[in-house]
Structure 1
Amino acid sequence: MVATSARQGTPHRGCTLSWFVEGDGPPVVMIQGVGIGAEGWRPQVEGLASRFDCLCLDNRGFGGSQPPGEPLTVELMAEDVLALMDARGWASAHVVGHSLGGLVALYIAHRVRERVRSLALLCTFASGAVPTRLTPRMLAMGLRTRLGTRRMRRHAFLRMVLAPGELAQADPDALAQQLAPLFGHDLADQPPVALRQFQAMGRADATPFLRGFSGLPTLVVSATHDPIAPPSAGQALAAGIPGARYVEVPNASHGVTLRFAEQVNALLREHLDGAEALRQVEGLAMPT
């Protein structure tokens, strides 16, 4: 069972955003991707909450964040996160994003860089054209998640987010049941907002402002078998941000945060600790 933290609701631009905070320490905001809610960060919260104050939200239109409100854009999703930081009283925070959430994180840093202590960009891309491209493989994978019996659709979804080696060693029915609470829905179903999220992602492109993040501690993590955010996209993203660190997790796919949580959490702790240490050094170096 997934442990559920007490939820809070914050109205913002036509939507009451549903979110929770767990932990103690420097502030960290975690932003999810298409078709998954705040509980998808549960493995990371469990790994980080002893040292960091973790804020996780349902993106507008998903789960408890209803109604969707205004036309969905990545810019609006970035504003939602900033509204929750304001509600929490955080002048700044580390920002962690997965997939679409990584694109949202980039837009936040572009808009108000002074409020971003560091970026951790997981299985993501600088341009939404990457995951929304209709290659024959992506088209076939997407169709299989929407056609056939519910069991067939669950198995197709697993093939889209897990590496072949993971699936070969798993009971897909048990795994689909195990992952459903983390995604916030039965894997046979796609939440109604998913298409709008997908379309908003396709219209977004952070490539023009990556160079402006020079000096901002940035971690980029890709998974070797990820068909949605392939390593080439992560490599290009890291290359575009001066000083960014790139790490590729072998034997993993788009669900790396759920299935390789220990490895991802170790990378996040190292990254966040390093960014906090740098803040302290820079603070000491500031003239009084």
Structure 2
Amino acid sequence: MTLHHELSGPADAPVLVLGNSLGTTTALWEPQLPELAERFRVLRYDHRGHGGSPASRGPRRIDDLAEDVLELLDALGVRRVSYCGVSMGAMVGMWLAGHAPERIDRLVLCCTTATYDTARPWEERAAAVRANGTGSIAPAVVSRWFTPALRERSPQTVARFEHMLSTVDDESYAGCCEALGELDLRAVLSKIVAPTAVIAGARDEATPPESLRAIADAIPGASLSVVDAAHLANVEAPDAVAEILREHLK
């Protein structure tokens, strides 16, 4: 699996990997990219079947997505990185920091969870996408990504993310849903040694602040910040998230 990726910033700077949420592409990180690229060699990538990455029948586990990233780093000759992820991208970051701690310098986990109470919603979403395509679920899913205030203030942002989700390969998306349905990273958290910043969206219904508190409590020395946003906090509260990244990724 050769993931589509983009590199920005000085070639000799420390590498910072940015991981996306399910249904989004490298464009997710555009609000923070200009500042981050001044200090880091920023590596953005697309998950399987997202953006420019090839489709696949799978993944079936979060391990598959994380191993894709390790293969990409190896192909680029990059040994050690800092990693920032949103939602599914943060799940990949937890897996990497727990299973390959020698590869992760610093870690940022935004609007995510280590496990879900039940797999049923993910199984139902996978079935819906296989039957009717990602476009059929885009309005309902994206409505949970942003607060009502953002949706009213910036309908163009909502439309852009609905289109982004609608372009994701159906089978790849369904496979990701199944991977999230069986997600359980709780045993990994105590093994993470990279300095970790955890960011919660105060109005995030998909991964509520208590999910992020559980992660921060389980990772030794982790900090928790809560910003005024829903699920895609780095888009809705770009300045607040940028400040956290600025302080943590020193």
| TM-score, normalising length: structure 2 | 0.85
Amino acid at match of 2:56: P
Contact 1:130/1:229, CA 8 A, preserved across alignment: no
CA distance in 2, matches of 1:219, 1:259: 18
CA shift digits 1:6-57 (9 cap, x unpaired)? xxxxxxxxx3311111112211111112111122122221231011111011
What corresponds to 2:237 in structure 1? 260
2:69 equivalent in structure 1: 81
* Unmatched tracts of structure 1, length 5 or more: 1-14, 274-288
* C-alpha contact (below 8 Å) 2:24/2:161 kept by paired residues: no
Match of 1:22 among 2, 5, 8: 8
Match of 1:227 among 192, 196, 205: 205
92, 95, 100: which is aligned to 1:112? Answer: 100
| Per-residue CA distance 1:242-282 (angstroms, 9 max, x = gap) | 100000002x1002111211211111121110xxxxxxxxx
**Residue type of the partner of 1:219?**
A
Deviations 1:62-113 (A, max 9, x none): 2221131564321111111111111222110001111011111111112210
Residues 132-166 of structure 1, C-alpha deviations (whole Å, 9 max, x = no match):
5649xxx9xxx9xx99xx8x976544421111332
Cα distance change on mapping 1:32 and 1:179 into 2, 3 Å: same
The change in CA–CA distance for 1:119 and 1:67 in structure 2 (over 3 A counts) is same
Greater relative contact order (Cα 8 A, min sep 6): structure 1 or 2? 2
Distance in structure 1 (CA, Å) of the matches to 2:141 and 2:48: 22
**Separation (CA, whole Å) in 2 of partners of 1:85 and 1:153:** 32
What SS does structure 2 have at the residue aligned with 1:212?
coil
Matched, 1:170 2:153: yes
Report the aligned-residue RMSD.
2.7
* Percent sequence identity over aligned pairs: 30
Q: Could you say what secondary structure the match of 1:61 adopts? A: coil
Instruction: Give unmatched runs, 5+ long, in structure 2.
Output: none
8 Å contact kept, 2:59–2:176: no
- Structure 2 partner of 1:122: 110
Residues in 1 aligned to 2:196 and 2:118: alpha-carbon distance in whole angstroms: 21
1-structure distance, mates of 2:118, 2:144: 12
Flag the structure with larger Rg.
Answer: 1
8 A contact 2:87–2:113 mirrored in 1: yes
- Indicate if the aligned counterparts of 1:130 and 1:233 stay in contact, CA closer than 8 A: no
The alpha carbon displacement at 1:190 in A equals 6.1
Give me the whole-angstrom Cα distance separating, in 2, the residues matched to 1:178 and 1:209: 35
Displacement of 1:130 after TM fit?
Answer: 5.1
Please give the alpha-carbon distance, in whole angstroms, between the structure 1 residues aligned to 2:206 and 2:86: 11
Distance 2:118 2:8 in 1: 31
User: 1:195: how far off?
Assistant: 2.0
Aligned length: 240
* Equivalent in 227, 234, 248 of residue 226 of structure 2: 248
SS at match of 2:144: helix
Which residue does the alignment assign to 2:144? 160
1:182-208 residue CA offsets vs partner (Å, 9 max, x unmatched): x7345xx76412221111012121101
| Cα contact 1:124–1:233 (8 A) shared by 2 | yes
